[in-house]
C-alpha cells in the first residue's frame, strides 16, 4: 500500500460531463485526461470541454483553461497539452479557480533516478526501487501512479536507471529487457513523459571483436549505430540516453585521450536519425586529489574540461551541469559553466534526493535554494544585460539553445509515502512546478503543495508553510559554515564529521587549522573566482565583496575575521549552530500544533522524523562547535556550553 501524494481527489465517478471535439480519438493521453477529470470529486456535476486548437502560442505542451462554474474549457494544441490542462484544472479547483494560459518555460523537465537493477537505489532514502527488483524491470499499478503523478506537475522525461551503469544495467539495452522497456516507455508516454536510459559508455569493450571504446574508432561508432537501430525499432518512443563518463571510476573518452565532445558526439551521431537526445554529464573531476597538491581544485574541474569545447558538441547533445561546481552541498556558488558556452546546449541538474541535505530524515525544503540558483545573474551578455540569469540560460532564452532545461535526481522509492519523509514530497512537487514555471515563488509552491496534499485548513497551511520555509536556512545553520561544505561523514554523507574528508583519499579539503579555514580560490589561490564573468569574478575575488554565505567557499580566512554583522567568524559559527538547533525546536512545536488536523498516520510519521532531526541538529551543533572551539581555543562570547 502507498499514499496518493497530492493527487488525493479520486472517487469512482464524479458525474462530470467531459466533452471532446473529436470523440473518436484513441489517443491515450486524451483518455487519461478524461479519466482524471471523471475521477475528480471537485468536478461533480460540472461540464468540461476539451478542445484541440491551432493556437501556436500554446506550443506542444501549453494549455488555456477558462470558463465559469459549472462549465469549463481546456484548449491545447496537442494531447499532452490537454492532459496537462486536466491536471491543472483539478488543482485550480482546489486552490481557487482563475483563467490561466500557461506554457512550460523549459523544454526538458526531467527526473534522474539512481536506481540499480538489483532493487537498491544509490543515495536513495525512501526504500527500494519501484522500477527494478532482482535484475528485472517491474511494471505495475504503482508505476502507472508514478507516471500520473509526474505528469500532474509537468515532468516530461524520466531516466530510470543509475548513471553509474553496472552489472545487469549494462544489459538493459539488450533484447532480453527491451520488451519491458517498451511497455514502460508506452506507459510513460501515455502521460506525456519520455523514457530515457543511462548508458555504459564502455559497452563496446565487452564485444570481443572490438574491445575498445575509443570514440574515433569507426567500429565503435558503427556498433552504437546498430545498437540504437535495434533499440529504436523496438522502442520508438524512447527519449534518449544519459551518460556519466570519466567520473568517479566510470569509463570515458579520456582513456583514449579523446575529449568529452568526441565521446559525446560519437553516441549522438548514432542516435540522431531516431530523434534521440544525448544527455552528457559535466560532473567530471579528479576524485583522488592528493592533499599536498595545492594546484588542483575540484571546483574548477568541469569548467576546465568543458569550457573550451564550446561549439564542438552536436546539436542533439545537451550538457547536464550540476547547479554548483562541487556536489549538491547545502550552499555552493552556481557553476561557472552556465552562460559561458553560447554554442552548446545546457541543462541544469539539481538533486531532490537529499544526499547532503538530511537524507529525507531532516525536513529540508529545497525550492528556495533552487530559486536562488535560477535567479543568479551570470551576465552572459555583459553587465546589465537582459535574459542572462541561470534560469534564462537553462530555458534556452539567453542563447537560443535547441535543447535545454532542468533535471533533478529523484527522491522517490518504495516507501509507503514515496519519499521517506512526507514533507520531502514538497521537493518533488516543487521541482516539477519550478521546471514548468521558474517564476513561481518558493512560498507559492509550498502553499499549493500543502493545500493539494492536506486540504485548505488555514492552520495546517500556515504551520507547514512556516516549517518548510524555515527548513533549508535551519539546515544550513547547523551544517558546515559559510559555504565551506563537506563536514559530513564520508561515504554515507550523513551526520557531522568535520575532518572526515580532510583525511580521506576522496580529495576534497577545507584545510582548517588553529588560525584559519578555507581554500583560497581567488587569483592568489586556485584562480577559481576568475572563472566567472564580470562583475561576478571581481565580486568573488575579494572577501569584502563576496556574499557572506559563500565566504569560506572562496577564501581562506582567520577566525578573527570580522563579518558585516560585527561578529567574528568564530562567533558567527557558534551563533548559527545554536540558532539552527533552536529553529528545529520551533519547527517541531509548530508541527505538534497540528495534531488532529492531519491524518494520524501521516502525523506520526512526520513527528518521528522531526524528533530525530531535533536530536541530530543538536549533534551537528555540538560536533561542529566543539571542533572549532578545540582548534581555536576561542571561547563563545555568550558562554554557552561547548564540549
Ligand atoms: C551516482 C556523488 C554521489 C554519487 C553519485 C555522484 C554523481 O558523488 O555521492 O553517489 O553517483 O555524485 O552525481 O554521479
182-214: string of b/e by CB count within 10 Å (b at 16+)?
A: bebbebbbbbbbbbbbbbbbbbbeeeeebebbb
| Most distant CA atoms of the chain, gap in Å | 78
- All three cell numbers of 25, joined, read 480519438
Whole-angstrom Cα distance, residue 156 to residue 111? Answer: 9
Whole-angstrom Cα distance, residue 551 to residue 533? Answer: 18
Ligand 1 centroid distance, CA of 505 (Å) = 16
The pLDDT of residue 249 is: 87
The pLDDT of residue 25 is: 83
Lowest mean pLDDT among 54-58, 124-128, 273-277, 439-443: 54-58
Dump pLDDT digits (tens) for 621-635: 999 999 999 999 999
Whole-angstrom Cα distance, residue 461 to residue 115? Answer: 33
- All three cell numbers of 270, joined, read 548514432
Of all protein residues, whose CA lies closest to atom 9 belonging to ligand 1?
123
- Check if the beta carbon of residue 156 is closer than 8 Å to that of residue 192: yes
β-bridge pairing 277-281 and 240-243: parallel
Residue 287 CA: nearest ligand 1 atom is 8
Ligand 1 centroid distance, CA of 336 (Å) = 20
Is 355 a catalytic site residue? yes
Q: Which residues pair with 57 in a beta bridge?
A: none
Whole-angstrom Cα distance, residue 447 to residue 458? Answer: 10
Ligand 1 centroid distance, CA of 479 (Å) = 20
The pLDDT of residue 398 is: 95
Is 248 a catalytic site residue? yes
Which of 243, 327, 329 to mutate for ligand 1's pocket (most ligand atoms within 8 Å of CB)?
Answer: 327
Strands of 165-272 (E only): list them.
194-199, 240-243
On whether the pTM is more than 0.85, the answer is yes
List residues near ligand 1 (CB under 6 A).
114, 122-123, 162-164, 244, 248, 283, 327
- Check if the beta carbon of residue 402 is closer than 8 Å to that of residue 107: no
The pLDDT of residue 9 is: 81
Ligand 1 centroid distance, CA of 582 (Å) = 32
For residue 479, give the nearest of 581, 609, 340 by alpha carbon: 581
Residue 122 CA: nearest ligand 1 atom is 10
Ligand 1 centroid distance, CA of 581 (Å) = 28
The CA-CA-CA angle for residues 107, 110, 113, to 5°, reads 165
Of all protein residues, whose CA lies closest to atom 12 belonging to ligand 1?
327
Is 327 a catalytic site residue? yes
Give CA 378 to chain center in angstroms.
20
Helix (H, G, I), strand (E, B) or coil at 404: coil
Percent of the chain exceeding pLDDT 70 equals 100
The pLDDT of residue 15 is: 87
The catalytic residue among 105, 214, 327, 476 is: 327
- Check if the beta carbon of residue 617 is closer than 8 Å to that of residue 474: yes
Helix (H, G, I), strand (E, B) or coil at 504: coil
Query: What mean pLDDT comes out for the span 352-381?
Result: 97
**Residues ≥6 apart with Cβ < 8 Å to 566:** none
User: What is the residue whose three cell numbers read 527519449?
Assistant: 239
State the average pLDDT for the chain: 96
β-bridge pairing 71-76 and 63-68: antiparallel
Whole-angstrom Cα distance, residue 210 to residue 213? Answer: 8
Helix (H, G, I), strand (E, B) or coil at 194: strand
User: What is the residue whose three cell numbers read 579528479?
Assistant: 286
pLDDT at 293 over 90: no
Ligand 1 centroid distance, CA of 409 (Å) = 10
The CA-CA-CA angle for residues 216, 218, 219, to 5°, reads 120
Residue 409 CA: nearest ligand 1 atom is 13
User: What is the residue whose three cell numbers read 574548477?
Assistant: 300
The pLDDT of residue 383 is: 73
For residue 73, give the nearest of 103, 104, 33, 128 by alpha carbon: 33
The pLDDT of residue 507 is: 73
The catalytic residue among 248, 315, 383, 534 is: 248
3-state secondary structure 469-501: HHHHHHHHHHCCCCCCCCCECCCCCCCECCCCC
CB half-sphere exposure, 145, CA atoms < 13 A: 19
User: What is the residue whose three cell numbers read 575498445?
Assistant: 212
Give CA 74 to chain center in angstroms.
30
The pLDDT of residue 28 is: 95
Which of 114, 486, 500 to mutate for ligand 1's pocket (most ligand atoms within 8 Å of CB)?
Answer: 114
Query: What mean pLDDT comes out for the span 577-586?
Result: 98
Amino acid at each position: 500500500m502507498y499514499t496518493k501524494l497530492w493527487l488525493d481527489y479520486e472517487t469512482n465517478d464524479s458525474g462530470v460531463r467531459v466533452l471532446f471535439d473529436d470523440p473518436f480519438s484513441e489517443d491515450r493521453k486524451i483518455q487519461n485526461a478524461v479519466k482524471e477529470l471523471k475521477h475528480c470529486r471537485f468536478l461533480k456535476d460540472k461540464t468540461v470541454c476539451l478542445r484541440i486548437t491551432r493556437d501556436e502560442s500554446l506550443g506542444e505542451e501549453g494549455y488555456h483553461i477558462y470558463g465559469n462554474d459549472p462549465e469549463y474549457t481546456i484548449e491545447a494544441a496537442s494531447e499532452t497539452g490537454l492532459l496537462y490542462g486536466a491536471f491543472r484544472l483539478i488543482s485550480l479547483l482546489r486552490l481557487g479557480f482563475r483563467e490561466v494560459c500557461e506554457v512550460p518555460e523549459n523544454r526538458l523537465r526531467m527526473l534522474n533516478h539512481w536506481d540499480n537493477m538489483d532493487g537498491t537505489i544509490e543515495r536513495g532514502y525512501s526504500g527500494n526501487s519501484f522500477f527494478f527488483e532482482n535484475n528485472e524491470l517491474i511494471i505495475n499499478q504503482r508505476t502507472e501512479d508514478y507516471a500520473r503523478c509526474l505528469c500532474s506537475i509537468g515532468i516530461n522525461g524520466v531516466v530510470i536507471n543509475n548513471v553509474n551503469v553496472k552489472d545487469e544495467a549494462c544489459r538493459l539495452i539488450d533484447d532480453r529487457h527491451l520488451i519491458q522497456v517498451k511497455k514502460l516507455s508506452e506507459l510513460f508516454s501515455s502521460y506525456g513523459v519520455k523514457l530515457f536510459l543511462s548508458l555504459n559508455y564502455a559497452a563496446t569493450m565487452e564485444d570481443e571483436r572490438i574491445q575498445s571504446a575509443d570514440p574515433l574508432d569507426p567500429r565503435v561508432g558503427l556498433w552504437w549505430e546498430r545498437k540504437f537501430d535495434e533499440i529504436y525499432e523496438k522502442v520508438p518512443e524512447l527519449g534518449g540516453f544519459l551518460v556519466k563518463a570519466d567520473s568517479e571510476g566510470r569509463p570515458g573518452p579520456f582513456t583514449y585521450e579523446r575529449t568529452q565532445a568526441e565521446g559525446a558526439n560519437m553516441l549522438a551521431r548514432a542516435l540522431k536519425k531516431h530523434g534521440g537526445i544525448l544527455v552528457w554529464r559535466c560532473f567530471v573531476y579528479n576524485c583522488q586529489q592528493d592533499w599536498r597538491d595545492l594546484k588542483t581544485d575540484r571546483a574548477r574541474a568541469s569548467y576546465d574540461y568543458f569550457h573550451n569545447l564550446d561549439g564542438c558538441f552536436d546539436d542533439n547533445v545537451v550538457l547536464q551541469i550540476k547547479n554548483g561546481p562541487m556536489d549538491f552541498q547545502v550552499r555552493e556558488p552556481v557553476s561557472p559553466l552556465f552562460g559561458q558556452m553560447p554554442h552548446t546546449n545546457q541543462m541544469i541538474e539539481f538533486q531532490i534526493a537529499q544526499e547532503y541535505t538530511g537524507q529525507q530524515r531532516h525536513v529540508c525544503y529545497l525550492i528556495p535554494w533552487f530559486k536562488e540558483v535560477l535567479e543568479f545573474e551570470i551576465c552572459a551578455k555583459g553587465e546589465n544585460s537582459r535574459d542572462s540569469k541561470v534560469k534564462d540560460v537553462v530555458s534556452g532564452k539567453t542563447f537560443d539553445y535547441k535543447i535545454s532545461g532542468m533535471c533533478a535526481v529523484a527522491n522517490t522509492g518504495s516507501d509507503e509515502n514515496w519519499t521517506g519523509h512526507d514533507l520531502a514530497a514538497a521537493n518533488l512537487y516543487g521541482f516539477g512546478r519550478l521546471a514548468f514555471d521558474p517564476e513561481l515563488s518558493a512560498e507559492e509552491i509550498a502553499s499549493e503543495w500543502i493545500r493539494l496534499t492536506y486540504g485548505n485548513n488555514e492552520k495546517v497551511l500556515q504551520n507547514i508553510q512556516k516549517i518548510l520555509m524555515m527548513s533549508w536556512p535551519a539546515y544550513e545553520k547547523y551544517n558546515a559554515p559559510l559555504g565551506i561544505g563537506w563536514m559530513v561523514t564520508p561515504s554515507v554523507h550523513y551526520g557531522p564529521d568535520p575532518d572526515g574528508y580532510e583525511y580521506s583519499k576522496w580529495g576534497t579539503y577545507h584545510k582548517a587549522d588553529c588560525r584559519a579555514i578555507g581554500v583560497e580560490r581567488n587569483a592568489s589561490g586556485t584562480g577559481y573566482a576568475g572563472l566567472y564573468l564580470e562583475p561576478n569574478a571581481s565580486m568573488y575575488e575579494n572577501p569584502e565583496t563576496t556574499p557572506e554565505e559563500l565566504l569560506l567557499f572562496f577564501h581562506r580566512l582567520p577566525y578573527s575575521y570580522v563579518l558585516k554583522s560585527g561578529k567574528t567568524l568564530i562567533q558567527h559559527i557558534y551563533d548559527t549552530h545554536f540558532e539552527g538547533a533552536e529553529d528545529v525546536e520551533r519547527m517541531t512545536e509548530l508541527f505538534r500544533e497540528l495534531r488532529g488536523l492531519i491524518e494520524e498516520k501521516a502525523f506520526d510519521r512526520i513527528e518521528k522524523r522531526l524528533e530525530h532531526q531535533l536530536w541530530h541538529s543538536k549533534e551537528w551543533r555540538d560536533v561542529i562547535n566543539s571542533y572549532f572551539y578545540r582548534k581555536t581555543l576561542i571561547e563563545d562570547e555568550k558562554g554557552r556550553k561547548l564540549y
